[in-house]
Structure 1
Amino acid sequence: MCAYMRLSGAAAFAALVLLLLYAVRRWRNPRSSGRLPPGSMGLPFVGETLQFFSPDASFDVPRFVRHRLTRYGPIFKTSLVGHPVVVSADEELNYMVFQQEGKLFQSWYPDSFVEILGRDNVGEQQGAMFKYLKNMVLRYFGPESLRESMLGDVEHAVRNSLCTWSTLPAVELKEAVSTMVFDLSANKLLGLEQSRSKILRKSFFDFVRGLISFPLYLPGTAYYSCMKGRQSAMEVLQQVLEERKRSVQVLGARGVKEKTRRHGDFLDHVIQEITKEKPLVTDKMALDLMFVLLFASFHTTSLALTLAVKLLADHPHVLEELTVEHETILKDRKAGGESDGITWMEYKSMTFTSQVINETVRLANIAPGIFRKALKDIQFKGYTIPEGWGVMVCPPAVHLNPDIYPDPLTFNPSRFKDKPEINRGSRHFMAFGGGLRFCVGADFSKLQMSIFLHFLVTRYRWKTLEGGKIVRTPGLEFPDGYHIQTRQRD
């Protein structure tokens, strides 16, 4: 009897081992109707997620992608947070992914990232609903709005911030710029005053610290802090939305005209949408939309501006050329007897500034990957991308390709001279995305950066005190901060 039990136990153990080996083999060799790209699926369930999030102190293509490009070529397969993914550094495949949205591909992000940004965020919307929300945002952040109302507000925020920083012994630039941009965005989006914006800002700062991290929801992890920050921020946004809805209802009941009830912020547009007789936009969609807009408007701009200041400090000849452009604007303004404020025409004349911004975001590669999902089996260059698989377009692999950008790790704004086509995205420049989902806030971000650089180089001098180390995890970070001292010019 005992021998029989031992034999049965051994047989069960052997069957379990065989089952596990079979599962591992199936994981590493997923089924496909054709030839899959080369690559490794890593460990079962975990895939190669740990390698993807490993830090890399380099401006270069993230180590995870760099090593696989060398081994497998510009198209390879992997598995990230439980999803099979094809990674593309191939410009033709990238172009196809962006141009064939809704036909061959659709917007997609891993579940853990969707949880961070919200199940109803604009990135999850497809087809007509996405276009509807995009047009809704563009009505407020389009060129006309930037020219008529945003330009003066950005200038006011920049002037005040730089003036305050110049009285301090030191400033951690990333945090200081983040505060400046966030308070401006919170005011323009939600009508928040600085005191209330400060409460919301803390939640967003907690959120950002764990944004691109391994999705382990346990106390003490970056992902846990990120999700708690999101929860706190959403509670504030919910409160703001409810307050505005009640205010509109009360004023409407009193017979106050609709134009008089408006605050002049983006929340006005949101309230109009969700209070229609047959609204297309739900409260939850509106909250996720405002959350994403707040996050995108301050996080990417503050990182890019911090890097721009560091690069200018490290490259005096570029700083000199930039300063000449902006001092020329001041001279022409004085000669014409015009006011002290920046005009739209002056802003549009900042051609070298635009080159500096493009070169900065090319090197920054703030978005390490842009995700889509295959809607059907797709054949490309002899490989099959199976239906349902994720596709990660890798901007750093394009932006840092020496065949496209000679000496790619060098800060050289002049490489963008006479290349206006990149301003709306191209096969070789995707810092703001591409195709239908080209970033709706790109023009607002460029405006803020241009105005900031104008006042920085014409009215102030600065020196680096400490920090400035760059780490990719795989997003861009300044782990030790970037501490500078600013002083007004004589």
Structure 2
Amino acid sequence: MGFSALVASALCTFLLPLLLFLAAVRLWDLYCASGRDPSCPLPLPPGTMGLPFFGETLQMVLQRRKFLQMKRRKYGFIYKTHLFGRPTVRVMGAENVRHILLGEHRLVSVQWPASVRTILGSGCLSNLHNGQHKHRKKVIMRAFSRDALQHYVPVIQEEVSACLAQWLGAGPCLLVYPEVKRLMFRIAMRILLGFQPRQAGPDSEQQLVEAFEEMIRNLFSLPIDVPFSGLYRGLRARNIIHAKIEENIRAKMARKEPESGYKDALQLLMEHTQGNGEQLNMQELKESATELLFGGHETTASAATSLIAFLGLHHDVLQKVRKELQVKGLLSGPNQEKQLDMEVLEQLKYTGCVIKETLRLSPPVPGGFRIALKTLELNGYQIPKGWNVIYSICDTHDVADLFTDKDEFNPDRFMSPSPEDSSRFSFIPFGGGLRSCVGKEFAKVLLKIFTVELARSCDWQLLNGPPTMKTGPIVYPVDNLPAKFIGFSGQI
């Protein structure tokens, strides 16, 4: 082969692909820049858009918190990126987030990534809009009224007490996070869907837990449904869950009246469709039930695991919780086993502050997705119509001026009330505005009962010390939080 042939071969092998790649990057940059609305004089936020088609999705999925912290340090509280196939602006800080959350239906509308919409389905609350969303939320909220929560308290207490008794006999090492997920899953299945997982057998329960974990791991995927892709695996796991839920729905339809004495959220949805003369849509019911299970156990499992971590690292805070329980007659003597109720739980102010501080430092859901309905102006930048907007919960907590010594675990910061205007959007673990978490009161009651039972029955040691937390998409400890549990002596 002659010299000229070698040169031509080298050009074809190396130079031509490089030139094509550089051309693709240049075209990508021009495409991203063309998204700016010329009718608005403001510039786009700073930031980068990543690789053609993929954007910065791969970096975000692989690095998560590290990627987001780097972006915040480099570009500030508002920056552009390209995630899950869409140009995106990420927003943080109380004032910026307030603008987004209070602009629902006027400036922005909810729009989760295509993979989330596909897996959870169009019939779930998160993907409904305007009147449909308002109507469905009103029905579901009946399952979280104060009277309904009162019915749930003994069920939660029973499940938590039985679980902690098992932990105390688990030996020198227990992986907390998987155990808490199983506990919260059983509670959500019983209360939200009226399903008795223990009666279905441990194999059936474990199959459902594993299917949920697989579905949630793949919620945020590239929107490519081919064998072995994240979306494909997520849909396959979702179908297993839907099959089990459909069995439960058909059993409810045959039974007519609930066995538990209270009506769960799924029962209320079924009655609503029947009462209005609407045809019962099995697919929408399955999607709504799946969403309730997702919101009702993954997020509370994350928060409860963080509670164990923080209380394990701050024994002085645990002792203050126990002192509050002692004052209320809940720590020792014959009242130790007395049933909790809503009135007693509402009196546990310091315990409530411990939960708030946990949610401030480690919010289970890192943020929410919206889409700009029109080009909007935010803090000197434009967000073009049609772009995705992510408001960050974790970053907003991190940068809030309201909190001093932000990295310190200090529940006392919530004991004194803050001015409403300054605190409303500085602390948003449940989101805000029209789309604040529908089950937030349920979550607060559940976490408070969990904290009470944990504090009055267990002492524990974190075997690996402070955990490293990861987001995927819910916040969790990388090492599953190994710990050793022993019985609490009753002495403060």
- The two structures share one fold, judged by TM-score above 0.5: yes
Instruction: Please say if 1:161 is aligned against 2:160.
Output: no
Say whether the 8 Å CA contact 2:109–2:372 is kept in structure 1. Answer: yes
Question: With structure 2 as the length reference, what TM-score do the two structures score?
Answer: 0.85
CA distance in 1, matches of 2:88, 2:362: 24
Change (3 A) 1:468 1:114: farther
**Partner of 2:216 in structure 1?**
208
Alignment match, 1:327: 326
Residues 85 and 222 in structure 2, CA contact (< 8 A), matched pair in contact too: no
Q: Deviations over 1:22-46 (max 9, x none)?
A: 6323234133223211111111211
> Bigger shift: 470-479 or 99-108?
470-479
Q: Measured at CA, do residues 130 and 77 of structure 1 come closer, stay the same or move farther in structure 2, by a change above 3 Å?
A: same
Q: 1:230 to 1:382 in 2, by over 3 A?
A: same
Alignment of 1:66-145 (within 5 A): 66-145=69-148
Alpha-carbon shift at residue 73 of structure 1 (Å): 2.2
1:14 and 1:458 map into 2 onto residues whose CA distance is: 65
Contact preservation (8 Å) 2:112, 2:369: yes
Which segment drifts farther, 463-472 or 190-199?
463-472
Unaligned segments of structure 2, at least 5 residues: 1-7
Instruction: Provide the secondary structure at the position in 2 that maps to 1:275.
Output: helix
* Structure 1 pair 261–364 and aligned structure 2 pair: CA distance change class (3 A): closer
2:448 to 447, 450, 463: 450
Residue 487 in structure 1 maps to residue 491 in structure 2: no
Cα distance 1:465–1:72, how it changes in 2: closer, same or farther (>3 A)?
A: closer
**What SS class does the counterpart of residue 81 from structure 2 fall into?**
strand
Q: Secondary structure at the match of 1:40?
A: coil
Which residue matches 2:246? 238
Alignment check: 8 A CA contact 2:470 2:476 kept: yes
Report Cα offsets for 1:428-462 as digits up to 9, x if no partner: 01110100111111111111111111121122222
Task: Tell me: CA distance 1:421–1:460, structure 2 relative to 1, closer, same or farther (3 Å).
Answer: farther
Match status 1:192 vs 2:192: no
Q: Which letter does structure 2 place at the counterpart of 1:349?
A: Q
- Residue 223 (structure 1) shift: 5.2
Cα distance per residue 1:195-215 (max 9 Å; x no partner):
326143332233234445666
Determine if the alignment matches structure 1 residue 360 to structure 2 residue 364: no
Map Cα deviations across residues 336-390 of structure 1 (whole Å, 9 max, x no partner). Answer: x898112322200111111111111111122222111111111233321111111
Q: How far, CA to CA, are the matches of 1:481 and 1:50 in structure 2?
A: 24
Structure 1 residues 174 and 274: alpha-carbon distance in aligned structure 2, compared to 1, 3 A threshold: same
Residue 331 of structure 2 contacts residue 456 of structure 2 at CA under 8 Å; is this kept in 1? no
Inter-partner Cα distance in structure 2 for 1:180 and 1:13: 53
> Structure 1: how far apart are the matches of 2:454 and 2:18?
70
Farther off after superposition, 75-84 or 205-214: 205-214
Q: Structure 2 vs 1, CA of residues 404 and 474 (structure 1 numbering), >3 Å: closer, same or farther?
A: farther
Cα distance in structure 2, aligned partners of 1:437 and 1:308: 25
- Does the Cα contact within 8 Å between 1:107 and 1:371 map onto a contact in 2? yes
Partner of 1:254: none
Shift in CA distance, 456/382, structure 1 to aligned 2, threshold 3 Å: closer
Q: Within 2, Cα distance between the matches of 1:26 and 1:480?
A: 43
- Across the aligned residues of Structure 1 and Structure 2, the Cα RMSD in angstroms comes to 3.3
**What displacement does 1:70 show?**
2.4
Counterpart Cα distance in 2 of 1:455 and 1:260: 26
- Displacement of 1:409 after TM fit? 1.8
Going from structure 1 to structure 2, the CA distance change for 1:331 and 1:88 (only over 3 Å counts) comes to closer
Aligned to 2:235: 227
Residue 85 of structure 1 deviates from its aligned partner by: 0.8
Given that 2:217 and 2:472 are in contact with CA atoms closer than 8 Å, whether structure 1 keeps it comes out as no
- Residues 263, 355 of structure 1: alpha-carbon distance in 2 compared, 3 angstrom cutoff: closer
Tell me the number of residue pairs that the alignment of Structure 1 and Structure 2 aligns. Answer: 465
Task: Work out whether 1:173 is the aligned partner of 2:171.
Answer: no
- One-letter code aligned to 2:426: H
Name 2:270's counterpart in structure 1. 271
Give the Cα–Cα distance (whole angstroms) in 2 for the partners of residues 262 and 307 of structure 1: 33
The superposition leaves residues 394-436 of structure 1 with CA deviations (integer Å, 9 ceiling, x where unpaired) of 11111111633222222111111223788xx821011101001
Separation of aligned partners in 2, 1:396 and 1:41: 22
Of stretches 469-478 and 364-373 in structure 1, the one that deviates more from structure 2 is 469-478
Q: Distance in 2 between matches of 1:373 and 1:124?
A: 12
1:295 pairs with 2:294: yes
Instruction: Note if contact 1:87-1:391 (Cα within 8 Å) is conserved in structure 2.
Output: yes
Match of 1:252 in 2: none
Is 1:39 equivalent to 2:47 in the alignment?
A: yes
Match of 1:376 in 2: 374
Q: Sequence identity of aligned pairs in percent?
A: 26
Tell me, yes or no, if the aligned pair for 2:49 and 2:82 is still in contact at 8 Å.
yes
1:182 equivalent among 175, 178, 185:
185
Are residues 156 and 473 of structure 1, via their aligned partners in 2, closer, same or farther at CA, if it must alter by over 3 Å? closer
What per-residue deviation string (whole Å, max 9, x for no partner) do you get for residues 272-295 of structure 1? 123345428733222111101011
Is 1:29 the counterpart of 2:33 in the alignment? Answer: yes
Correspondence for 1:251: none
Q: 1:406 corresponds to which letter in structure 2?
A: T
Q: 1:47 to 1:15 in 2, by over 3 A?
A: closer
Distance (whole Å) between structure 2 residues aligned to residue 222 and residue 414 of structure 1: 43
Separation in 2 of the partners of 1:15 and 1:97?
Answer: 41
Moved more, 166-175 or 369-378: 166-175
- Counterpart of 1:151 in structure 2 is 153
Contact 1:55–1:474 at 8 Å: present in 2 too? no
Q: Quote the offset at 1:246 in angstroms.
A: 4.1
| SS state at 1:486 partner | strand
Q: Residues 283, 79 of structure 1: CA spacing in aligned structure 2 closer, same or farther, 3 A cutoff? A: same
Structure 1, unmatched stretches of 5+, are 1-5, 57-61, 249-257
Question: 2:35 is matched by which residue type in structure 1?
Answer: R
Which region of structure 1 is more displaced relative to structure 2, 199-208 or 46-55?
199-208
